[in-house]
Structure formats: structure tokens, C-alpha cells
Amino acid sequence: MTTHTTPARDTLVPLPAPAARALTAAGAAIALAGTFLAWTWTSEFPGDLTVTGYPGGLQILTLTSAALTLLFVLSGYGIRGLGWLTPGGTNSPVRLLALGTLGTTGYTMGAIAYELGGVVNLEPGAWVSGIGALISTVAALALPSDEPLPQHDPRPGTWQRFRNSLTAPAAPRAKTLPAWAEILIIAAAFGAMLYVFTYGIDIPTEDSEQFIGFLITAAFAFTAITRAGLISRITALTTKHRNVALTAALVAALCFPFTQDTAEYALIGVNILIFATVALGLNVVVGLAGLLDLGYVAFLGVGAYTAALVSGAPLSAIGVHFPFWAAVLTGAAVSLVFGVLIGAPTLRLRGDYLAIVTLGFGEIFRVTVNNLNGNSGPDLTNGSQGIPSIPDLNLFGIDFGLSRDIGPFTLSRPANYYLLMLVVTAVVVLVFRRSGDSRIGRAWVAIREDETAATAMGINAFRLKLLAFALGATLAGLAGTVQAHVNYTVTPEQYQFAGSVPPNSAFLLAAVILGGMGTLSGPFVGAALLYLIPAKLQFMQDYQLFLFGIALILLMRFRPEGLVADRRKQLEFHENDPIDVPEPRQSEETGAGIAKAGA
């Protein structure tokens, strides 16, 4: 008789899912409780982690990650109402949140030991949270994988997946909410985004440890809620109530300056808004029409220099003082003319050749304004010294250079310009939205996907590409007129292809790609990240471009469609992957009819 022996590794019994889920919740609860204990004995570490009973600094980030982990674990138990948060599954988001809790806690413990000179500086609260986060992570890794989405049609291809998505939602249909509840959810979502954005900006520049912890927590949390399908669900609601969503976004942005009590952080906000608005203008050229423009920052410079020349600056060679509305129109018109003059001879090129020509235009602009100093050329731009002392605006009797009190709030000079720039942004958003949804916008998308096929269908590709180029230049010039007044001065060094301080052409293009080409909100997300991170992590200035390149490589590998991707890009880059789709807007009868017709 033959005796069969079983290897030891086969006798290991995997942790059952209920036990793994319970241990994950227990570890997250322990990590959360540890944040109410002191993590170190001295207040020399940023955030003052010495207080018992009141979390502060990086403890708040660990508390947030642990609380989200608990919330998503509870959603897997079928608790009424919590299932709405995880239409795409709970296990994968729980793993990501547990890893985020461990990452934030472990980073904080390492930073304390490094800054203060050893692990002896860690108080019991840090060890409690660290052990709890480790237990939660190990248990979460034992959870089974989420079930893949059913694929009705075994044939590969984009069209089959799109047709299946109309009748196969990413998760069991949730109960239909009344319209008022959906509007409240949209408002809450934008309120949460405002809070996260404000929290990141309000972190002091010298507290780089806390900002790095914020990035770790935000990255894992965003990935988790995306994997859970919550982003897709909210996107479906904003698509259904588009006007409500735009109004909520505008109100949230309007509230930002009232949350700031220092001019420094309000200045970061207005610069982010300028950067994002210019990126949205570039999104017309790159995202909709598919034209790779590497010299787009030059149009921003054209608008800024035009505004500086006609706004009454003492060193202006023209010596005129237009009212602001006239300066804005002049800057936009001059940028439009430059866009047509540059685009007319170059837009017959395609691909890399067009990119090289636009890159050359950007450098030509910078060199030209640098030489218009009265020696190498006419005295127009004051050369490398630029045009300083641009006066503050005075609109409707309001001096934008002075702080003013509105009730209990004090608006600083940057806050005044933030509100003005918000009006400009609203105009740019309106133009982008209307043009993208129009017949011209659909023609741009057709040219982007296949110019030869679009031309064969009767589209005048050159005329429409020139229109996109001119519109993008106009929007950039519009933002440049405000930038000139915010910065007091314009110099050639502000408008380079690549540099340490955005906006420049490389960072503008990266903001569009990072956020999501062709989307409305994508450039705002990309611009906020690319401006805020260098502003807060100033100790990385020497390695900024190196880290920037690594980030782009990782983005192209793991999320090539961008952080905020449209449906077309998701299908293009993840054709063979299970995709997370929002709930179909058709009724069940309509979906059944489509499926029957397709069969």
C-alpha cells in the first residue's frame, strides 16, 4: 500500500473571509484608537503629536484612513445605506485603505524616528496605531478578490463591451433615489472636495512631513473609492444633473477664499486657478482636437504682456491706461491674432512635426520679448527686466490691492483676484462645454481619432484645427491678462517650455494628461496637483523634474487615461480589462430592448 504524504504548505488553511473581515475591522479600530494617544514626547515634530485625547497633524490622517477602512468593511456586511458606497465591491477598496493606513502610520513613525533621533522618541500611541494598521493590512490581504464583471459577449472589441455595458451594470442596481437626494449627494461630494483641497493648501510649507502624509492618504483613498465604483456612481449623478453639478462646483470654488485667513495660501489658490484655466484652454487643442502643442505657454505670455502694456504700468512703452474690460479684450484679441498667424502655416503638419514647430514658437516668443529692450530691438518689453509695477485693478470702485471685510471674513489682495479669476474661469468653462458639445466639438473629436477618415467624411480638417488653435490661444490670453495684475510684473523667464515653477508648456501639457484629456474637470485636478506639490515640497526643488518624470511613467503604466477619464478613454486603454461602468440611464425595459435588438 502506497502512503501519500501531504506537503506542509498544503496543510495551511487560508483565513476565512468573515474572519479576515473581522480582523481588518478590529485592526482599523485599534489604529483609530491609537490616534487619541500621544505619539511622541516633544512638540519639535510638526503637528504637536504630544497631546492625549486630541489628534493633531499626521494623527488626523491616520484617523481618517482607519475610519474609512472601518466604513468600507461595514459596507460589506449589508448594513442598510452603506452598500451604496461600494457598488463595485468592498474587498479591493478595503485592502487599499488598509494599506493607506499602514503607509501613513509607518511613514509618520519613520519621520519621528529620523527627525528626533531614534525610535526611542515614539510614545505608546504610535505603536498602538502601527500594530493596529499592520493587523488590518495583513487581514485585508487575506480577503478574496472582488468578482469580475460579467461579460455577455465573448467576442473582444470596444463595441461589444460598450453594448454589454448598456445592459450589464458594474454592480447590482441600487435603489433609485429621489431627485432631491441625488442633488444633496452632489453637493456633499463637492463640499468634501473643497474640504480636502483646503486642508492640503492650509498645511504650512515648512511642515513637509505632514504634506507627504496627506499625499499618501489621499492617493490610497482616491484609488479605493474609484475601485469601489463610488466615483462612477457620482459621475453618473453629475451627468444626469449637469447644471446642478456645475453650480455646486462654482459655489464650492466661491467659498474657498472665505476659508483662508492668510494671503499666502490664497495666493496659491489664485495661481492654481490661473494654471487650471490655461490648462483647460490647452485641453481644447490637445484633448478635443488632438493637436500636440508644446509652446502653448507663449499665448499666456502674449495676453500678459498685452495687459501690462495697456494697463498703465510706469515702464510701459505704449503709455496708455485701458480699463480692465478693454485690457482683457485686447489681450484676448492679440492672442487670437497670434494663434491664427502661427496656426495657419503650421497646422498642415501632423504629430511630432507639429509638436516641434509649436515648441519652436514658444522659444521664439521668449527670445523675442527678451530682445525687445531698445538695444537688440525696439524698446517695447524692457527685455529681461520685464514690465514691473503693473497697477492693481479698480473695478466698480473696488481697489483689488486692498483687503476688505465682508461680515466676519477678511478678503486679502490675492482673494480679490481669486474671485475675479473665478469669473474668468466660469467663462472659459462655458466656452469649453458649449464648444465640446457642439457640432464643431464632435468634428474635433473625429479629427483627433482619425483625421483621414474625418476628411473623407467631408470635414474641413484644416479649418477646424485652425479654429481650435485660435480658440485655445484666446482662452490662454484671457487668463494671462489676470496673471499680469496678480504678479505685478511680467518677465520672459515666466514663459518657458520647462522650468521649476508652473505654468510652463511642459507642466500645462502634463496637467491635461494627468487630469484626463478631453474632460472638463480633469485639467483642474491635474493643475491643482502639479502646482500644489512643488509649492509645498520646496526641499525637492533640485529633484523636481526627475520626480516629475517618474510620476509620468507611473501614470502611463497604471492609469494612462488620466485621473478623470471619459468613457471613450476607458474603453481605449482598458479594452481587455473588466471595466467599471456607471449605471445605465435607460430603464430596465429599455436595456432589455437594446439587448434583444443586439442579439
Which residues, in sequence order, are CB contacts of 65 under 8 Å at separation 6+? 31, 97, 100, 101, 104, 217, 220, 221
pTM for this structure?
0.80
C-beta separation of 346 from 318 below 8 A: no
Give the pLDDT confidence score for residue 218 in this predicted structure.
Answer: 92
DSSP label at residue 288: I
Question: How would you write the pLDDT of the chain (599 residues) with one tens digit per residue?
Answer: 444 444 443 433 466 778 888 999 999 999 999 999 999 988 888 888 888 888 888 999 999 999 999 998 888 776 666 777 777 777 888 999 999 999 999 999 999 998 888 888 898 999 999 999 999 999 999 888 765 444 334 434 443 443 443 333 344 445 677 888 888 989 999 999 989 988 888 888 888 888 899 999 999 999 898 888 888 888 888 888 888 888 898 899 888 888 887 788 888 889 889 998 999 888 888 888 888 888 888 999 899 999 988 888 887 778 788 888 888 999 999 999 999 988 888 888 877 888 888 888 888 888 888 888 778 777 788 888 888 888 888 887 788 888 887 877 788 888 888 998 898 888 888 888 888 888 998 998 888 888 888 888 888 888 999 999 899 999 999 999 988 888 888 888 888 877 666 778 888 888 888 888 878 888 888 888 888 888 888 777 777 777 777 877 888 787 777 777 766 666 666 655 544 444 443 433 334 443 333 33
Tell me how far apart the alpha carbons of residues 139 and 170 are, in angstroms, rounded to a whole number: 26
pLDDT digits (tens, 9 = 90+) for 454-504: 888 888 888 999 999 899 999 999 999 988 888 888 888 888 877 666 778
pLDDT digits (tens, 9 = 90+) for 131-174: 999 999 999 998 887 654 443 344 344 434 434 433 333 444 45
Tell me how far apart the alpha carbons of residues 449 and 464 are, in angstroms, rounded to a whole number: 14
Q: Domain limits of the chain?
A: 16-147+170-234, 260-519
Q: Which residues of 283-303 are buried (b: 16+ CB within 10 A; e: fewer)?
A: bbbbbbbbbbbbbbbbbbbbb
